[in-house]
Structure 1
Amino acid sequence: MSCTCEEDQPPTVQGSGEKLRTSSSQEIDDPFCSATNPRIISYEQVRDARKALETGIKKTDLFRSRISDLVGINIYLKCEFLQYTGSFKERGARYAMLNLSDQQKQNGVYAASAGNHALAMCYHGKQLGVSVTVVMPTVAPLMKIERCKSFGAQVIVLGKSLQESKKHAMKLAKEKGGCYVNGYDHPDILAGAGSLGIEILEQLPTSNAIIIPAGGGGLLAGISVAVKTLKPCTKVIGAESEACPSISNSFKVGKAVQVDTAATLADGLAVALPGYNSIETIKKYVDKVLVVKEDDIAVSILRLIEHEKFIVEGAGATALAAVLSGQMSEFKGKNVVVILSGGNIDTTVLGRVLERGLAADGRLIKVYVTISDKCGSVNQLCKLIDSVGVSIKTVSLERTWVQTDVFSMMIKTVCETRDYEHALELKKLLEDHYQYVSMVHAEFPASTLAKV
């Protein structure tokens, strides 16, 4: 791997794609990621990466999931969240550093990331004796920032978004004579990620389909090259959140296009503009890209905890969400590999995600009932709810803004049910006893094919 590094004035205005315009009207250009000259990586590159990564990278487990019986598909989970830093990103990061010259190692590498790529670069930089500087946006979780620092890397928290952080990282790389490594589009990153494809086919040669989380596109691109070369009949399918459908939009038009992004549980996939090399590779090898709802991602995280005792981040659970949402029905009875790409979920968010999953699954509901404001009415309501085995979590009452007579009050309860049908049973029971009943629940619960 070689890097083009020239001394120049600091950049002041961001250009398009991977370019940065400077005050002297020159540009900082990432020579490995070009909109005008995108590259399709070869199987030989992926094969070389696989050989180089025989040491230093964990060969993660692949096994049939208990969730298979819920959907009628043989789901095989590829557990990349069990890598040392918690994600598949280690493969590309290590391989990129192994390809550095001695001079490049001395000058150091630079990257921009809000989490997993930064962790992988910092950890393997320490293992290989490479100086690493990562620029992380201010929205990056403190847990990930501190962990990057623990590996001895230089961590700079700068920029309101990843795009702003990337500007600064590219600027530093140019000033210091170092190499900027794009976390989802550098050819070595793609090749390293592609080693997963070879590994999967070694572990399960009878794979009928492989579902891959897609953000910047590097993992999807790398695996697609390996799989379509070794076993062309195996379907390669991408999965992304509806909050950031950049891969599916780019796949449709055949080039990298930028989309507006919204807050998403799959924050690791929230890349507004996918990689140029990635999209060029994806459009040649990938069969299709599926878009999943946020509720299905939440339910997938919940399912993995309940059935496998795995804690997986939103991005890591997105491929499973494509199965649980019913979009893979053509693979009934067949072998489908689901890549759990990462497990670095913020512990402060996990509880909220699980509650979101329970609500999406119809197992956590809010019930509003207008009852008589007289002694014993609340107790009577609670006994009625309890009679069908529904657990009451909270109860609150409102008298002032009730839109009926002054002798009534509204009760709000948050309840836990077994499933969606149980919630509907409670609603019917309450409607048989009270005139005004309203229930907030999933109209069509997420993952209806995978209810427990």
Structure 2
Amino acid sequence: MSDSNPGNEGSSPIRLAAIEQARKLLDGVSACTPIESSASLSAVVGATVFLKCENLQRTGSFKLRGAFTRLAALSEAERKRGVIAASAGNHAQGVAFAARELGIECMVFMPVGAALPKITATRGYGAEVRLAGEDLAQSIDLAKAEAATHGYIFIPPFDHPDIIAGQATLGLEVLEQVPDVATIIVPTGGGGLLAGVASALHLSGSGARVIGVQAEGAAAFPASLAQGMPVRLAKMATLADGIAVPEPSELTLGIVRDHVAEIRTVSEEQIGEAMLFLNERAKLVVEPSGAAGVAALLGGAEGLEEPIVVVLSGGNVDTLVLNRVLQHGLVAAGRFMQMIVRVPDRPGSLVTFLTALAETECNVVSVEHERTSSGLAASEVQIGVKVETKGQDHQVEIISELKRLGYEVAFPALEQA
């Protein structure tokens, strides 16, 4: 899948001159985001790792790069028509910000379930926001229909050379910040950022391997690459809304096929663990999609040459989602556990059980004492507890000790915030 002839412009629809021109356009608009070395992540995976902190970009994600590049290329007549876009949030903010800076009227369609902070931010940049569509695919279709009816210029989230050239400027920055980079890991939805980074490295003559990462519940690239054409997912299910795209385009698929080494997928649990790791160890707030690269790296760095750069593609996360995902991350990391036990309904049973828990050195967060649950005998009480633990081994010790004392332990599904 990867290209073996770096620096050959003839095999790429994106030109190095276009990327360099985009970088000039973005001077003073987007930031050259920092690359942070991560001693903690390097120690965990056994390789030198750097984090490209695009979560610290203006508007909170890389999307500003491509959006501004595309809008800046519009003719005066096109600018007067106004622009329209569809997005779950990051592209919306990038387009809205760019339109404001360039004096262009802007409308954005967002799915009805879009995160409130992203909606608020998009409106704050001056765009008219319409909440329509159950998912991003429907919002895109509605935006395109509105554009056709009223003459707006549709700004795609990834399917345009200008968009890809703008995103590719991130790749040039990585090459300057870590000249000897051997592997770059990129969160991936429709493939605009992945195609841009891969193009920048290929056209600059770098031999670094580029790896795309998708959420398991929204991974359109594997099937599309296998069939040699964009394959639309029938459904998507992931908290990583920034990379929840039902299919790549012909443009991004072709670049990824030619210049990307591999595509990996990560589970929701892995994404949660990555967000928790970044929050606790790197002191960085990153949205679920932005943490996908770290999730893949935590899943295994075998075969990856170092130094490794992982792109943190965005930091626009709803506080409620952050709380829920971090809670799931704590569970996956063995730091939080819920359990239910049944004990005889007699004085002292609750105290005896909690004393047993205390002796395992876990921290009890909450206790529910229930006498009327379905299935309980008249002589029983159900006790539900949430505890903080020290890892998977500690949890095994706790459960083993409770079973040794005669308790039958059950584990309910984690409550959704």
TM-score, normalising length from structure 2? 0.91
Query: How far apart, in 2, do the equivalents of 1:290 and 1:271 lie?
Result: 15
Offset of residue 402 of structure 1: 8.2
* 1:265-306 deviation digits (Å, cap 9, x = unpaired): 211111112122100111010000001011000111111111
Aligned counterparts of 2:108 and 2:55: Cα–Cα separation in 1: 21
Alpha-carbon spacing, 1:208–1:396, altered in 2? closer, same or farther (3 Å)? same
Deviations 1:381-436 (A, max 9, x none): 11111112101112223445687875443322111101111111111111111152
Please state how far the C-alpha of 1:127 moved relative to its aligned partner.
Answer: 1.1
Summarize the alignment of residues 150-189 of structure 1 with structure 2, pairs less than 5 Å apart.
Answer: 150-189=124-163
Corresponding letter in the other structure for 1:389: E
Aligned to 2:8: none
Residue of structure 2 aligned with 1:411, choices 383, 394, 397: 383
Q: Which structure 2 residues correspond to residues 5-404 of structure 1 after superposition, within 5 A?
A: 40-65=13-38, 66-326=40-300, 328-331=301-304, 334-400=306-372
Q: Does 1:425 align with 2:397?
A: yes
Name which of structure 1's ranges 175-184 and 269-278 shifts more when overlaid on structure 2.
Answer: 175-184
Note closer, same or farther for the CA distance 1:288–1:429 as it changes in structure 2 (3 Å cut).
Answer: same
Name 1:31's counterpart in structure 2: none
Q: 1:307 offset after TM fit, Å? A: 0.9
Report the residue type matching 1:428 in the other structure.
S
Tell me how far apart the structure 1 counterparts of residues 270 and 303 of structure 2 sit (CA, whole Å): 19
Report the AA paired with residue 286 of structure 1. V
Which structure has greater helix proportion?
Answer: 2
Report the AA paired with residue 88 of structure 2: A
TM-score scaled by structure 1?
0.84
Partner of 1:20: none
Gaps of 5+ in 1: 1-38, 443-452
* Unaligned segments of structure 2, at least 5 residues: 1-11
> One-letter code of the match for 1:211?
I
Q: Helix, strand or coil for the counterpart of 1:329? A: coil
Q: What CA distance in whole angstroms lies between the structure 2 residues aligned with 1:404 and 1:183?
A: 54
C-alpha contact (below 8 Å) 1:370/1:434 kept by paired residues: no
| Partners of 1:402 and 1:408 within 8 A in 2 | no
Q: Matched residues in 1 for 2:106 and 2:410: separation? A: 56
1:154-181 per-residue CA deviation (whole Å, 9 max, x = no partner) reads: 2222233323322332233334433211
**Structure 1 position 309, deviation (Å):** 1.6
Residues 230 and 253, structure 2, Cα contact 8 Å, conserved in 1? yes
Inter-partner Cα distance in structure 2 for 1:88 and 1:402: 51
- CA RMSD, aligned part only? 2.1
**1:84-139 C-alpha deviation (Å, 9 max, x unpaired):** 21000000011111111111112222111121111111111111222222122222
Residue in 2 that maps onto 1:4: none
Equivalenced residue count is: 402
Tell me which moved more, 431-440 or 277-286. Answer: 431-440
SS of equivalent to 1:135: strand
After TM superposition, the runs of 4+ consecutive aligned structure 1 residues lying more than 6 A away are 402-405
Output the amino acid matched with 1:258.
R
1:278 & 1:121 partners in 2: Cα distance? 20
CA displacement 1:422-452 (0-9 Å, x = unmatched): 111111111111152345699xxxxxxxxxx
Provide the identity percentage: 36
Q: 1:404 to 1:347 in 2, by over 3 A?
A: closer
Measure how far apart 1:368 and its partner are. 2.6
